[in-house]
Structure 1
Amino acid sequence: MRIRTVMSLVGALALSLVSGCAQGGAAGSGANTVTYWLWDANQLPAYQACAKGFERKNPELTVKITQLGWADYWTKLTASFIAGTEPDVFTDHIQKFGQFADLKVLEPLDGLGIDDAAYQSGLGANWTGQDGHRYGAPKDWDTVALFYNRKMTEDAGLTADQLNSLAWNPKDGGTFERTIAHLTVDKNGTRGDEPGFDKDNVRTYGLATGGAGDSDGQTTWSPFTASAGWNYTDKARWGDRYAYDSDTFQSVVDWYFGLARKGYLAPFTDYTDGANPANAQVASGRAATAFDGAWMISTYYGTKGLDVGTALTPVGPSGKRATMMNGLADSVTKNARNKDGALRWVRYLASDACQKTVGSYGIVFPATPDGTRAAVAAYGKKGIDVSAFTGPVTDRQHARTFSFPIADYAADVYALMRPAMQDVYANGAPVSGLTRTNDQINFLLGQ
């Protein structure tokens, strides 16, 4: 089953992508050049600065950085492995790790001497494959918080302390649902918690839509499923069985998408294919709040005319609040043309020297504690309080952080869960139907 799935994936990509993506890639890579790919344009200046620092220490080497948009990045990267034009080093995502490990296109990094204890908890261990080898050097991390339009929350009589103290449950929604309802306003000016509210003609939704959440729900339902005590798989890493058939998962998802049926959560059509992201809904006044990731901090706070604040995710039935803590890494390709230079560059990227440089730009939270502190200070100079994102990482007594599911067949799981979750959200399909989808997923895993 594993071979057949991987081979079909490679075959499909080879047919559809190579013809358009075979040029470029590792062009220019060689004995004196290290090619490096990343997707975030906001981070490009920071890594250009790191490259200069690296080149000063290694004057015989030059780092050539290529930045691509998120969608193009993964399409072209996967195609480059097939065409033999892959970069020496690339920014890796935990969702893609299993696929690349299966295809055996990553170089083990065990010889770099990376100590997991030198990074924020959990970030290093996530990049160890099932074979026990390390394939990623910790790079940065992000969490999820609640962005809100200050004018709208103040008009609704809500304080920052109240927004940071919300709680929820799947029965009546708790103070979180009541708050979202109160922030919802129909076209007659009636709030969602007032008599006469017209849920079919809403002017401003209490909560923006981030889509159906697909297989992970990072900025949609995951803060709720996790704070209810649910886990994606039966193991923290490389699980053998997914749990989308869980009563807990299905009850939480039913409640969450039920907010749309009540008129408090913007409808699925507001986000179809990501054409109208959550930040745009808040900026336009279509929504008062939105769950979003730390990578969007600069976007929200940089939006002209928008006075924005951030709050912690709400406390759930488990007694804790929860947020996904996603950590990116830098990986070396198996067929890197400059293997020695690539390994040296990745070791430098994971060092405090580079991570503090990146942190000083106030764009992302680097993986080392010193790098994180540099980022917090940089955000502070911009007048941005990021404690809603950093707090849960250190306050393990009251908060739970968790990772994307780390398991085989991530692409297949996504392909199966995406339409199933959209059907629940957009068409009101019963959540019990997710049990059948879960059975299909676990069949792939041999369960």
Structure 2
Amino acid sequence: MKRRSLLTSLAVTGTVGALAACSPSSSGGDSGSGSDGGGDGKTLTFRLWDETAVDAYTASFAAFEKESGWTVSIDLVPWADYWTRLPLDVASGDAADVYWMNSANYVLYKDSGDLLDITDVVTEGRDRWEKAVVDLYTRDGGLWGVPQLWDSIALFSNSDLLEKAGVDPTTLSFDPAADSDPLREAGRALTLDKAGKHPGDDGFDADSRTQFGVNSQADRQAIIGPMLAANGAQWQKDDEYVFASEQGIAAFDYMQGLVNDAQIAPSAADTNANGDVSRDLFTQGKLALFQSGPYSLKTVFEGVGDSFSWILSAPVAGPEGPKSLVHGVVAVGNAKADDAKQEGIAKLLTWLGSAEGQKPIGAQGVAFPAHQDAQGEFVDYWDGQGVDVSPFVEAAKEAAEADTGAKANAGLEAAMPIFQEIFIGRTTAAEGVPQAQEEGNAAMA
């Protein structure tokens, strides 16, 4: 998928977008799923931010209409506008009947009484929903959305480059307490300047690098979250950041060191400005190891084509083993919609929580459906493309903490610029990480 359907914005993640679990679209507008509902008034609205998911939901809603008699009109609002428009529409009473929600924002709307408690609405099939997503949206005794899709993190490897350098991606690990480790050694072997020299060689020119070893950047989901957890650091506790621990500072120092000291990762001057730089370098055959999520699959698959062979493996392991960040998108019900629509909203949420309702998401290769009985559709789609996506499934079993809380976005927006300063080398981890924690917590207070 394009970057990114699940999660947080450019300012928040330091990447181009947000899910899964996912990707923002550059276009907007309405896309109907079938007719306009005729004259019986049994029409619902459904809002999402990912253009690549529209066709899948259109197919799903066509089947829903035949079963229920309710027609669903799809409202596509690009990620860049989604969180600006949503609070305005909720306040004015113009919010969609059902709409996509992420973990960093739902608590705010839940606390304002805008969301239906799913435990009161959907009575069947909840035991088949992906537990990591259910846990993300469970709060104060209620479940505040129907899980739709999820993503985790794995390592994309350019097999041609790794074979030439003698690197096995399944053996990579990092250790901030060591002078060197398998990741840094592999990254050095995989990084070249225009003269064919590696970092550390006499005359190596970092400014003329034509090939990079690994991506390391201010990306909350693919880099920061997994590497903090793999080094034993906790992200937050009781809606407050606690990442400025000894392990957290060491992890940040290690991540920036891959950029500025080892010189095996692309410059933060580039990745801070555009979070997709690393992905694009990978598709161009100029980056050997690219840690990312399934939201990058389609872009990588289409961008690489037949240029080189690539595979997926577990995220790079740290002292605590390999860790992944698991995010999920849910469909929330508008608790303040007209009473006449509440029956239809309940039917739609129930459909969206079913395997049949979610199968088009997987069958079209959009994302991992959150219903376990529909996930095989996504695996089969990519298997048909020659891509084994099982590392994402395995990675989800070792999940790091995602962002939650009523003001999670505000906290991330305060912390991310400081993280970017660390990656670019203008602020040390020892100084910047505690500052990011302090300013992030102040923004969430």
CA contact (8 A) 1:278 1:290 kept: yes
Q: Distance in 1 between matches of 2:386 and 2:361?
A: 18
Pairing 1:349–2:352 present: yes
User: Partner of 2:171 in structure 1?
Assistant: 165
CA-to-partner distance for each residue in 1:283-338, whole Å, 9 max, x for gaps? Answer: 234422221111221211121454332221122112x2111111111101232242
User: Partner of 1:120 in structure 2?
Assistant: 130
2:86 to 56, 77, 82: 77
SS at match of 2:155: strand
Q: Distance in 2 between matches of 1:383 and 1:24?
A: 34
User: Partner of 2:11 in structure 1?
Assistant: none
Q: Distance in 1 between matches of 2:131 and 2:359?
A: 18
User: Partner of 1:330 in structure 2?
Assistant: 331
Pairing 1:212–2:218 present: yes
Q: Distance in 2 between matches of 1:240 and 1:70?
A: 24
Change (3 A) 1:99 1:187: farther
Change (3 A) 1:306 1:389: farther
SS at match of 2:133: coil
Cα offset for 1:208? 3.3
Q: Distance in 2 between matches of 1:350 and 1:51?
A: 13
Question: 1:245-264 residue pairs with structure 2 within 5 A?
Answer: 245-261=244-260, 262-264=262-264
User: Partner of 1:429 in structure 2?
Assistant: 427
Report the residue type matching 2:179 in the other structure. D
Pairing 1:142–2:151 present: yes
Pairing 1:189–2:196 present: yes
Q: Distance in 1 between matches of 2:159 and 2:366?
A: 22
Q: Distance in 1 between matches of 2:276 and 2:125?
A: 41
More moved, 95-104 vs 49-58: 95-104
User: Partner of 1:402 in structure 2?
Assistant: 400
Q: Distance in 2 between matches of 1:95 and 1:241?
A: 13
CA-to-partner distance for each residue in 1:213-253, whole Å, 9 max, x for gaps? Answer: 3xxx211222211111222122xxxx143113211101110
Q: Distance in 2 between matches of 1:125 and 1:132?
A: 11
CA-to-partner distance for each residue in 1:318-377, whole Å, 9 max, x for gaps? Answer: 2x2111111111101232242221221111011011123322222211112211122112
Report the residue type matching 2:416 in the other structure. R
Change (3 A) 1:102 1:411: farther
User: Partner of 1:20 in structure 2?
Assistant: none
SS at match of 2:243: coil
Change (3 A) 1:278 1:105: farther
Change (3 A) 1:278 1:67: farther
Q: Distance in 2 between matches of 1:443 and 1:428?
A: 23
More moved, 191-200 vs 116-125: 191-200
Pairing 1:132–2:141 present: yes
CA contact (8 A) 1:136 1:331 kept: yes
Change (3 A) 1:382 1:91: same
TM score, norm. by length of structure 1: 0.83
User: Partner of 1:152 in structure 2?
Assistant: 161
CA contact (8 A) 1:355 1:371 kept: yes
SS at match of 1:124: helix
CA-to-partner distance for each residue in 1:362-397, whole Å, 9 max, x for gaps? Answer: 22111122111221122111211112211223xx5x
| Matched pairs, number | 404
CA contact (8 A) 2:226 2:322 kept: yes
Pairing 1:66–2:75 present: yes
SS at match of 1:406: coil
Q: Distance in 2 between matches of 1:411 and 1:105?
A: 18
2:312 to 310, 313, 317: 310
SS at match of 1:274: coil
Question: 1:380-399 residue pairs with structure 2 within 5 A?
Answer: 380-393=383-396, 396=397
CA contact (8 A) 2:129 2:147 kept: yes
Runs of 5+ unmatched residues, structure 2: 1-28
Runs of 5+ unmatched residues, structure 1: 1-22
CA-to-partner distance for each residue in 1:171-211, whole Å, 9 max, x for gaps? Answer: 335211211121111121112364543334322221235x4
Q: What's the RMSD between the two structures over aligned residues?
A: 2.5
Cα offset for 1:136? 0.6
Q: Distance in 2 between matches of 1:241 and 1:410?
A: 9
CA contact (8 A) 1:25 1:86 kept: no
User: Partner of 1:359 in structure 2?
Assistant: 362
Q: Distance in 2 between matches of 1:245 and 1:25?
A: 45
Change (3 A) 1:193 1:346: farther
Change (3 A) 1:268 1:102: farther
Cα offset for 1:52? 0.9
Q: Distance in 2 between matches of 1:285 and 1:164?
A: 20
Cα offset for 1:405? 2.4
SS at match of 2:392: helix
Pairing 1:175–2:182 present: yes
Q: Distance in 1 between matches of 2:265 and 2:442?
A: 34
Q: Distance in 1 between matches of 2:180 and 2:110?
A: 41
Report the residue type matching 1:53 in the other structure. A
TM score, norm. by length of structure 2: 0.84
Pairing 1:280–2:267 present: no
CA contact (8 A) 2:154 2:292 kept: yes
Report the residue type matching 2:215 in the other structure. A
CA contact (8 A) 2:125 2:354 kept: no
Q: Distance in 2 between matches of 1:297 and 1:378?
A: 12
CA contact (8 A) 1:144 1:323 kept: yes
More moved, 179-188 vs 164-173: 164-173
SS at match of 1:50: helix
Q: Distance in 1 between matches of 2:180 and 2:98?
A: 45
Q: Distance in 2 between matches of 1:439 and 1:43?
A: 37
Pairing 1:373–2:380 present: no
User: Partner of 1:40 in structure 2?
Assistant: 50
